[in-house]
Amino acid sequence: MPQISPLMAGDPTQLGSFRLSGRVGEGGQGIVYLGVNEAGERAAIKLLHVKFSGDTIARSRFARELKAAKRVASFCTARVMEADLDGDTPYIASEYIDGRSLREIVETDGPLRGTALDRLAIGTATALTAIHHAHIVHRDFKPDNVLIAADGPRVVDFGIARIIDSTGTITSRAIGTPAYMAPEQIAGDDIGPYTDVFSWGATIAFAATGKVAFEGKSIATVLNRILNHEVDVSAMEEPLRSVVRAALAKAAAERPSADQILLRLLGQSTAVGASTAVLTRGAEVASDDTTPFTRVSAGSITDKGTGSLVPSQHGPPAHEGSTGSHEHRTSGVHEHRTTGSHEHQVTTGQGGVSVMPAETAPPEGERAPYPVAEPARPARRGRVKLWVAFGAVLVLVATTAMALAMNGWPPAFLERQTDPGEDPTRPFASVADKVAQTGKIVIGVRGDLPGVALRNGDDFQGFEIELAQRIAAGLGAKETKFVAVSREQRVTGLAEGRLDLVIATFGTDKSPLQFAGPYYVAHRDVLVRSGGGIDSIEDLEDKNICAPNSPSVGAVQDRVKVRPVIAGHLAQCMDMLRSGKVDAIPGEDLILAGFADREPQRYKILGAKLSNERYAVAIKEGDARTCQAVNGIVASLYSDGTLKQLLAKYFGKVEFDPELEPPAMEPCR
């Protein structure tokens, strides 16, 4: 049972129809209270933090959480009882689940065995199937978000859940809990229901063994294990053992769907998707801890109905008429194909077309197509094809990126092996090769931006300098040399090999170079004095703005009528803003914040976000290996909070709402 702590000074005592009696917990987005209404119903009420109440982005995320929670069948989650997203104190009141988290149960009472483990697996698979039938990807399935109630397990917390688009995928960002992230989340590939399946497998493995499946003392080690290590599932009985093993497949296309998992665990044919009857049976099994559980014969549930739990407003059940990207049903045809080093069962049957690894395919007569009720898996695009074709190499690189991001040492598998007679001065195949062999790297940076990258004699300081040091360490560099470069020198320096990387507020649309990252998504915005009465772009009407040679000036003029005051550079603009000669300075937010942070007066970035600028790491064209490694390092720096810390360190004196969402990575060519 969750530990309820007393209300604190400043906490509300009433939210909507609920009287609050204590605190259930607190997270980065808000505080969860325990409340009760006049009918005696208890609710867990998530209140958005006051600091986010005026933040439109935070409010939109909160609204997305509510939308996701409402779409999922309430028998497997916490039913939404009440919500207010428009008031001064946005909140969501959900059914209070009187139970402990799976993590707490395992850590306190030890691993689950036998029937208890079966019921957990079936209950969570039922929940996940219902979530996916509602076209939701949870994205943070883990033991903390599985509550064991009297009527079975419930999957909670849709804080980062996303609704799937028509392609059946979501553009990936490195978001989630590291130990339960799937390989595609780490690599920046599209994610979908198959991503939740991997997290489900890791969660069940934890419940069965009492150990985190991908354990490590650092995030880098954890991500390394996810990409390279297989989980020992020998402690589980069949069919759970083979199902969990398949769910933890590194390649998303080789994992079963949630429907298939549930059907296999119930002893049913996987030739069609999970119907309402199957979901009902799954919920019954999970909730009844008094009757010994036995798997019923194949077809005894699946032939009783084909209804779906997808609410009617979302369209008819997918298996009651093929729509979207799925093929029309045909009579059963079975093929056996070998692709590369992987042997697959290919089945065309009533449920559609399926490709499954041969070693995990169910027995003859139970060949399992991906159920039509689930959105299609992503088409293998260029970089995914490359990863599959050269999986060992690219997994190696991604692993290196993650493993080195926090430790700064090159493991043996990254070190480039050379023959004794090989000439060490010959050109290297990639920057990663060079660093692995020599331990040295040369990085081009700007030297004229305070807070971002400023040169002081032979020393460089700023946000991008520390970022570059971490990327260099992640690649295994022992010696990092910084070189101040102009815009004109960047392309030639990389092409001629005088520079290995360029990290210099370099936007991806500025050059045909190879880019990794971005490490930050900047915005064209406006800097004003704090407390000066300018709170929106409209407040600049008829005001003086500094006008250096920057496209940001035109971006402001497109929105509001202003009086430009010509200036040669941003330092001159800061002098004019300080003295009151201008009311605002347009520019890219990170650069503006760097200038303003060193001022004794207080300034703020207006938050207009007139356009995006993706600052990325420039690499010589064609160096896909280094690009993949840098992408992995940048993703790790977001996931472990390093980027947030660096932004606070160098721009903390400015009222500034920097982008903290991990960006979608550039493809590596």
169-216 pLDDT tens trace = 444 444 457 889 898 887 777 788 999 999 999 999 999 999 999 988
Closest among 189, 362, 185, 196 to 270, alpha carbons compared: 362
**Band of residue 408 on the pLDDT scale cut at 50, 70, 90:** very low
Residue 627 CA to residue 401 CA, distance in Å, equals: 10
Helices (H), 178-297: 183-187, 193-209, 219-228, 240-247, 258-265, 276-287
Least confident of 376-390, 452-466, 536-550: 376-390
What type of residue is 205?
Answer: A
Residue 233 · residue 209 · CB < 8 Å: no
pLDDT at 66: 60
Structure tokens at 215: 């354990």
pLDDT at 187: 75
The phi, psi pair for 151, rounded to 5°, reads -100, 25
Structure tokens at 533: 């009465």
SS3 label, residue 191 = strand
Write the DSSP string, 10-40.
T--SEETTEEEEEEEEE-SSEEEEEEE-TT-
Percent of all residues in the chain with a pLDDT value above 70, rounded to a whole number:
70
pLDDT at 163 over 70: no
pLDDT at 399: 41
Rg over CA atoms, the chain: 27
Q: Which residue has the higher pLDDT, 631 or 424?
A: 631
Q: Which residue has the higher pLDDT, 80 or 67?
A: 80
Structure tokens at 25: 């917990």
Q: pLDDT, tens digit, for every residue of 585-609?
A: 999 999 999 999 999 999 999 999 9
Least confident of 58-67, 598-607, 619-628, 645-654: 58-67
What type of residue is 185?
Answer: Q
pLDDT at 642 over 80: yes
Q: Which long-range contacts (CB under 8 A, 24 or more apart) does 328-337 make?
A: 332/271, 334/367
Q: Burial level of 200, CB count in 10 A (0-12/13-18/19+)? A: buried
SS3 label, residue 443 = strand
Q: pLDDT, tens digit, for every residue of 289-298?
A: 655 555 554 4
Q: Which residues pair with 44 in a beta bridge?
A: 34, 94
Closest among 188, 191, 252 to 664, alpha carbons compared: 188
Biggest alpha carbon distance in the chain? 84
pLDDT at 352 over 50: no
Which residues, including other chains, have CB under 8 Å from residue 592's CB and lie 6 or more apart? Answer: 525, 526, 527, 570, 585, 605
Angle at 519 between CA 449 and CA 588, to 5 degrees: 45
Residue 129 · residue 319 · CB < 8 Å: no
Q: Which residue has the higher pLDDT, 320 or 66?
A: 66
Assess whether 459 carries a catalytic annotation: no
10 Å Cβ neighbour count for 661? Answer: 12
Residue 375 · residue 315 · CB < 8 Å: no
Which residues, including other chains, have CB under 8 Å from residue 316's CB and lie 6 or more apart? Answer: 308
The side-by-side arrangement of strands in the sheet containing 80-84 is 14-15, 18-26, 30-36, 42-48, 91-95, 80-84
* CA–CA distances in Å: residue 104 to residues 45, 147, 653: 21, 9, 40
The phi, psi pair for 83, rounded to 5°, reads -155, 150
Angle at 651 between CA 649 and CA 653, to 5 degrees: 100
> In whole angstroms, what separates CA 512 from the centre of its chain?
28
Least confident of 371-385, 433-447, 473-487: 371-385
Residue 23 · residue 6 · CB < 8 Å: yes
Closest among 376, 401, 386, 617 to 517, alpha carbons compared: 617
Closest among 122, 394, 414, 413 to 250, alpha carbons compared: 394
Q: Which residue has the higher pLDDT, 69 or 565?
A: 565
* Half-sphere exposure for 96 (CA within 13 Å, toward CB): 24
Question: What is the DSSP-derived secondary structure letter of residue 248?
Answer: T
* CA–CA distances in Å: residue 445 to residues 75, 83, 449, 505, 581: 55, 49, 10, 8, 32
SS3 label, residue 557 = helix
Least confident of 51-60, 122-131, 158-167, 360-369: 360-369
Q: Omega of the bond prior to 378 within 30 degrees of 0, cis?
A: no
Most confident by average pLDDT, 61-75, 370-384, 526-540: 526-540
Closest among 541, 291, 258, 220 to 374, alpha carbons compared: 258
Write the DSSP string, 604-643.
EE-----EEEEEEEEE-TT-HHHHHHHHHHHHHHHHTTHH
pLDDT at 49 over 70: no
* CA–CA distances in Å: residue 172 to residues 67, 71, 186, 489, 526: 20, 22, 9, 33, 30
Residue 233 CA to residue 245 CA, distance in Å, equals: 7
Which residues, including other chains, have CB under 8 Å from residue 360's CB and lie 6 or more apart? Answer: 242, 245, 246, 249, 254, 256
- Active-site residue, selected from the candidate residues 140, 157, 189, 640: 140
pLDDT at 337 over 50: no
Q: Which residue has the higher pLDDT, 462 or 374?
A: 462
Which residues, including other chains, have CB under 8 Å from residue 51's CB and lie 6 or more apart? Answer: none
Please give the domain boundaries of the chain with CATH numbers for all domains.
Answer: 14-95 (3.30.200.20), 100-310 (1.10.510.10), 389-519+614-651 (3.40.190.10), 521-612 (3.40.190.10)
Structure tokens at 49: 């933090």
pLDDT at 383: 39
pLDDT at 262: 93
> In whole angstroms, what separates CA 379 from the centre of its chain?
20
Q: Which residue has the higher pLDDT, 87 or 402?
A: 87
pLDDT at 225: 87
What type of residue is 342?
Answer: H
The phi, psi pair for 38, rounded to 5°, reads -65, -25
10 Å Cβ neighbour count for 267? Answer: 16
SS3 label, residue 440 = strand
**Band of residue 371 on the pLDDT scale cut at 50, 70, 90:** very low
pLDDT at 218 over 90: no
Q: Omega of the bond prior to 239 within 30 degrees of 0, cis?
A: yes
Residue 176 · residue 191 · CB < 8 Å: no
Question: What is the DSSP-derived secondary structure letter of residue 504?
Answer: S
pLDDT at 73: 52
Average pLDDT, the chain: 75
Helices (H), 134-210: 183-187, 193-209
Q: Burial level of 60, CB count in 10 A (0-12/13-18/19+)? A: exposed
